[in-house]
Amino acid sequence: MVKCLAIADLFIDKQMMDDGLALLKEKGIEVVVKEWKHDDLEALQKDNITLEKQGSEAVDLPDYLIEGIEEYEYVITQFAPVGKKVIDRAKKLKFVGVLRAGIENVNRQYAEEKGITVFNTPGRSETSVSEYAVGLMLSEIRNIARADRKLRNGEWEKNYPNGVLAPELKESVVGLVGYGAIGQKVANLVRPFGGRIIFFDDYFTGETKDTQVSLEELVTQADIISMHYRLTPETKNMLNKTHFKKMKASAVVINSARSGLINEADLIEALQTKEITGAAVDVFEQEPLPADHPYLSLENVTITPHIAGSTIGNFANSPKILANRIINEYL
């Protein structure tokens, strides 16, 4: 019988994994679920951030998860690393499935050299992250979060960094940097508001109602710039001080994707000098955010603790989506 090791964690727990992979069991695959244990979500997130930034060899998989791994043809993981040590011991391994879009926690090159197929779960975050991105847009341009904070502090304030009269999505040019599944979903959510949508994406070749432009054109035309690109060595710091200098003074930048897509120091400088009006950020170079981080002293930025993808649907549905992909493409 074909055996599959599924590694659960604090976000996708054992029950979610068992329920989601029931389709594989129906196909005659024996699924064994083990848990990558952490004291709390922050400890798990710390390992995850390390893996995203430094790759699959930066964190060792504990021995209790590797024990008996030579018996398995499939390994399914969300955040747990699958590096050279695991691959070398897993003599029967044919497939590694990652329960998210990014596969930074798997040594893909080494796996494929060994004849192991590595695949992800595309589209799992498109609803959670796209909804959140639109929420950040509205919160930032309409001053929702900072107005709440002021009022709780006893201040009846109506004048904010973007003025007394806030802009509307209806009258805004929304520039999407990245037009994959999430970028397109954001466009679909924003379009009914009435704003004009432009986008930059080197890889998009299909048909769309929206307008494809260069990155240079996007940063000069857009009122709201929202990041939805994949982080690679080529896209790191793809938005930096040269782009902030070309933006409208009234522009707002949204990042619910990856912190490395934007040069954080350059964005902070642009906010401090009022080169742009504001930003809303869910991802940071250092997480948790240090107590002395410059964002904490700025009035023109909305910050949230990396929760754009934290929905029940995102995590609970991931094993089901991946199980269907395995059945449709590999069985």
Which residues are annotated as catalytic?
Answer: 258, 287, 306
Helix then strand count (H, E) for the chain reads 13, 12
Query: Residue 175 is encoded by which pair of tokens?
Result: 């520039």
The position carrying tokens 């930074």 is 104
Quote the CA–CA distance of 116 and 110 in Å, as a whole number: 9
Residues belonging to the chain:
331
Q: Which residue intervals of the chain are DSSP H helices?
A: 14-20, 22-26, 41-54, 63-66, 84-89, 108-113, 126-141, 144-152, 181-190, 215-221, 241-244, 264-272, 312-330
- Report the b/e string of 70-92 with b at 16+ CB within 10 A: eebbbbbbbbbbbbebbbeebee
Per-residue DSSP letter, 55: -
> Side chain identity at 241, as an amino acid letter?
K
